[in-house]
Amino acid sequence: MKASEIFGENVFGIAVMRDKLPKDVYKSLVSTIEDGTPLDPGVASVVANAMKDWAVEKGATHFTHWFQPMTGITAEKHDSFVSPGRDGKAIMEFSGKELVMGEPDASSFPSGGVRATFEARGYTAWDPTSFAFVKDGTLYVPSAFFSYSGEVLDKKTPLLKSMKALSREALRILKLFGTEAKQVFSTVGAEQEYFLIDKKDYLRRKDLVYTGRTLFGARPPKGQEMEDHYFGAIKSRVFDFMKELDEELWKLGIFAKTEHNEVAPAQHELAPLFASSNLANDQNQLIMEMMKRIADKRGLACLLHEKPFAGINGSGKHNNWSMSTDRGVNLLDPGSTPAENSRFLLFFSAVIAAVDEYQDLLRLSVAGAGNDHRLGANEAPPAIVSVYVGEELGEVLDALERDEKYAGKKRGVMKLGVDTLPDLPKDTTDRNRTSPFAFTGNKFEFRMVGSSFSLAGPNIVINTIVADVLKRFADVLEKADDFNSAVHDLVVKTVREHKRIIFNGNSYSDEWKREAKKRGLSDLADTSEALPLFAGEKSVDLFERMGVMSKREVVTRTEIMLDNYCKSVAIEGLTAVEMVRRDIYPAVLNYVRTLCDAVAAKKILPGANCATEEALATELSELTDGMCTKAEELSQALAEAKNVQGAAEQSAFYAHKVLPLMHEMRVIVDCAEMKTPKEMWPYPTYGELLFGV
């Protein structure tokens, strides 16, 4: 099937709107989508009716408001279009009111106490800036989710507000540059990494089923060192999976390309074409859902966890980010004229300043139980935030900072707004792969985001912190007499003040860790250290100042995320204990008995040598003692953890007491696995999961 034939066929997109809506309604809706004008309430019923007719043609019988509660995934409540008509006949109906507002039974969504105090009801509201679509016989209406008193309960609303803040401040600056724009969008293209393994194996691993990652597993003789990406027996199923996934996503208007180019065995990547952050976020949710569903259908399991296998690369979601006007001008594209260049450098330096000033927020926006196993390990970006700008741009910034001429140019001191930048090669071959926040020619790539994350959290932070710096820039520039030299001075000052965040070397090295410390960069080791800062004064002030979240919303969000973390680790701990006590210990004990039986049997041989069997049985017996002792300690720690007061304190307990015990237990278990026959081991091994052997 060709992409062109099916692309977007299940989406109520711009072309369908133009086709199905009366001209004035179409115009009004598009100006809401593209220019940010508030939705005209009069158009809702017309749109609803057109949407319904279109959806029914596609076979839909139901509709749902599709929203993104704090769980990080999506939720929906289906209602039928069918209403009683005259003469006992049924008619298909969808009113403007139903399109605009919904009331899901939402009492079970995490709200950090917001709803409890105010009003038990939660509402959903149509987000016209993302597109409705048909899936599984249902019309999906992308929606925001909030409480009766207007408090935000979801991930989408603050994302939209952060985009609005960014647009507001960027427009002030564009006006000064004379760049025409009605709105500025943050844009995101998120590369999604994932693992595919055989579903039969998956279902035999309690740890994968309960926690998404393997809690045990000895390293196979071969890991990823050969980088030859073995598919083994599931190769053709993987290809068919990718084909179907591509097609299903095309139908939903997501232009995506799947590839199997990752380093780890059984790991793959999908990169969609970038879109506005809001749409990209919705699309990413659909991508993750489709991946899981299509894998399942094809006898595979899709793992979206950040670190499903120890000792093997984890998965991320590289968040490519930029800003673009409604006319499609990418503000992080250097351009070719002096004016474009100085505009570029101003926005570029704003991002650098924002990243430096709010390192902690960026770090905590990607904190979570899964990502803790990835960040700072020797594969993924480190937990220290820094920015890669590349050699050429680095030299340009150096020259600007020292008010010297740029070495590559023959003319005098480079003056922004007057001189052009040297051509910056948009080179993709020798890009730095170790940087957490890398400039890649016309966008930044934030590589710390975890593969299972909602894109909302990190992008709320990026948009808001950049908006904050742009606001300050606009305050200065609006008062300036000489605009060009004010821009120049602002860029130079910004580079001087924030250059400590720029690092072009190997971010995985210990040397960088030491250097980063000297530079005073923040190094938050794990979720329990990072997350509580979200509710700190600096963070609350920022979100309130930019109109993105209230203090209450920030504080409750922090609690929900910390609670999530604690629950995740608790489930892991309980799963590990159960696996040891009920499966692993009995299995190893069985083998010890077999060895002892062998010793007894061998004894009938004259001069029998049973040293090997005896030594092995003794060693395994010690290992089983060890793992059972640890299981007991872990079990006690888990009971204790529940009683720790305070979300931050509790998360620290899980991080520093529970996880280390799990790790110690794993070391013992993995040791025992290496010495136990495969047939007697209760779970598929890493070799089977990753290589099919």
Which window, 165-173, 317-325, 362-370, 608-616, contacts ligand ADP (CB under 6 A)? 317-325
The nearest distance, CB 321 to ligand ADP, in angstroms, is: 6
Judged by CB, which is closer to ligand ADP: 445, or 613?
Answer: 445
What region does 89 belong to: left with phi over 0, alpha with psi -120 to 50, or beta? beta
Judged by CB, which is closer to ligand ADP: 127, or 333?
Answer: 333
Judged by CB, which is closer to ligand ADP: 29, or 332?
Answer: 332
Residue 273 binds which of ligand ADP, Mg ion, none (CB < 5-8 A, kind-dependent): ligand ADP
The nearest distance, CB 109 to Mg ion, in angstroms, is: 33
User: Site for ligand ADP (CB under 6 A): which residue of 187, 284, 359, 650?
Assistant: 187
Rounded CA gap, 270 and 256, in Å?
Answer: 7
Residue 443 binds which of ligand ADP, Mg ion, none (CB < 5-8 A, kind-dependent): ligand ADP
* Number of shown-chain residues binding ligand ADP (CB under 6 A): 15
- Check binding of 272 to ligand ADP (CB under 6 A): yes
Judged by CB, which is closer to Mg ion: 193, or 207?
Answer: 193
Rounded CA gap, 491 and 400, in Å?
Answer: 8
According to CB under 6 A, which residues from 330 to 349 bind ligand ADP? 330
**Does residue 454 contact residue 69 with C-beta atoms inside 8 Å?**
no
Crossing angle of the two packed helices 483-498 and 456-479, in degrees rounded to 10 = 130
The nearest distance, CB 440 to ligand ADP, in angstroms, is: 7
Which window, 109-117, 185-193, 347-355, 393-401, contacts ligand ADP (CB under 6 A)? 185-193
Which tokens is 625 given?
A: 């003692």
According to CB under 6 A, which residues from 628 to 667 bind ligand ADP? none
Backbone φ and ψ of 449, nearest 5°: -65, 135
Judged by CB, which is closer to ligand ADP: 67, or 274?
Answer: 274
Residue of 395, 378, 327 whose CA lies nearest to 508: 378
Crossing angle of the two packed helices 483-498 and 338-357, in degrees rounded to 10 = 30
* Number of shown-chain residues binding Mg ion (CB under 5 A): 1
Judged by CB, which is closer to ligand ADP: 143, or 322?
Answer: 322
Rounded CA gap, 659 and 145, in Å?
Answer: 34
User: Site for ligand ADP (CB under 6 A): which residue of 274, 406, 653, 691?
Assistant: 274
Rounded CA gap, 46 and 611, in Å?
Answer: 85
Rounded CA gap, 242 and 294, in Å?
Answer: 9
Residue of 194, 100, 186, 113 whose CA lies nearest to 147: 113
Judged by CB, which is closer to Mg ion: 257, or 593?
Answer: 257
Judged by CB, which is closer to ligand ADP: 213, or 443?
Answer: 443
DSSP string, 76-138: EEEEESEEE-GGG-EEE---HHHHHEE----TTS--TTHHHHH-S-EEEEE-TTS--EEETTE
What are the distances in angstroms from CA 661 to CA 84, 99, 374, 463? 61, 51, 19, 39
- Check binding of 320 to ligand ADP (CB under 6 A): yes
Find where tokens 């009971």 sit. Answer: 639
Residue 424-443 contact track with ligand ADP, rule CB under 6 A, x = bound: ----x-------------xx
The nearest distance, CB 457 to ligand ADP, in angstroms, is: 17
Which window, 243-251, 311-319, 387-395, 628-636, contacts Mg ion (CB under 5 A)? 311-319
The nearest distance, CB 429 to Mg ion, in angstroms, is: 13
The nearest distance, CB 294 to Mg ion, in angstroms, is: 23
Residue of 196, 57, 344 whose CA lies nearest to 692: 196
The nearest distance, CB 269 to Mg ion, in angstroms, is: 9
- 3-state SS assignment for residue 519: coil
Residue 198 host element (H or E)? strand 184-198
* Count, residues in the chain: 693
- 3-state SS assignment for residue 183: coil
- Check binding of 271 to ligand ADP (CB under 6 A): yes
Rounded CA gap, 581 and 286, in Å?
Answer: 38
DSSP string, 43-87: GHHHHHHHHHHHHHHTT--EEEEEE-BTTSS-EEEEEESEEE-GG
Which tokens is 643 given?
A: 């009683």
Backbone φ and ψ of 688, nearest 5°: -70, -40
Name residue 28's amino acid: S
Judged by CB, which is closer to ligand ADP: 65, or 443?
Answer: 443
- Check binding of 466 to ligand ADP (CB under 6 A): no
Residue 76 binds which of Mg ion, ligand ADP, none (CB < 5-8 A, kind-dependent): none
The nearest distance, CB 494 to ligand ADP, in angstroms, is: 22
Residue 265 binds which of ligand ADP, Mg ion, none (CB < 5-8 A, kind-dependent): none
What are the distances in angstroms from CA 182 to CA 140, 153, 327, 459, 469? 29, 29, 8, 21, 20
DSSP 557: H
DSSP 425: P
Cβ neighbours of residue 337 closer than 8 Å, sequence gap 6 or more: 420
Residue 613 binds which of Mg ion, ligand ADP, none (CB < 5-8 A, kind-dependent): none
**Does residue 29 contact residue 43 with C-beta atoms inside 8 Å?**
yes
Which window, 270-278, 337-345, 614-622, 643-651, contacts ligand ADP (CB under 6 A)? 270-278
Rounded CA gap, 308 and 313, in Å?
Answer: 9
Judged by CB, which is closer to Mg ion: 268, or 318?
Answer: 318
Which window, 161-169, 301-309, 315-323, 553-561, contacts Mg ion (CB under 5 A)? 315-323
The nearest distance, CB 517 to ligand ADP, in angstroms, is: 30
Judged by CB, which is closer to ligand ADP: 271, or 480?
Answer: 271
The nearest distance, CB 330 to ligand ADP, in angstroms, is: 5
Judged by CB, which is closer to ligand ADP: 367, or 455?
Answer: 455
Q: Report the residue number whose CB is nearest to Mg ion.
A: 318
Residue 61 binds which of Mg ion, ligand ADP, none (CB < 5-8 A, kind-dependent): none
Find where tokens 């966008």 sit. Answer: 443
Judged by CB, which is closer to ligand ADP: 273, or 608?
Answer: 273
Interface residues with Mg ion (CB under 5 A) are: 318
Interface residues with ligand ADP (CB under 6 A) are: 187-189, 191, 271-274, 320-322, 330, 428, 442-443
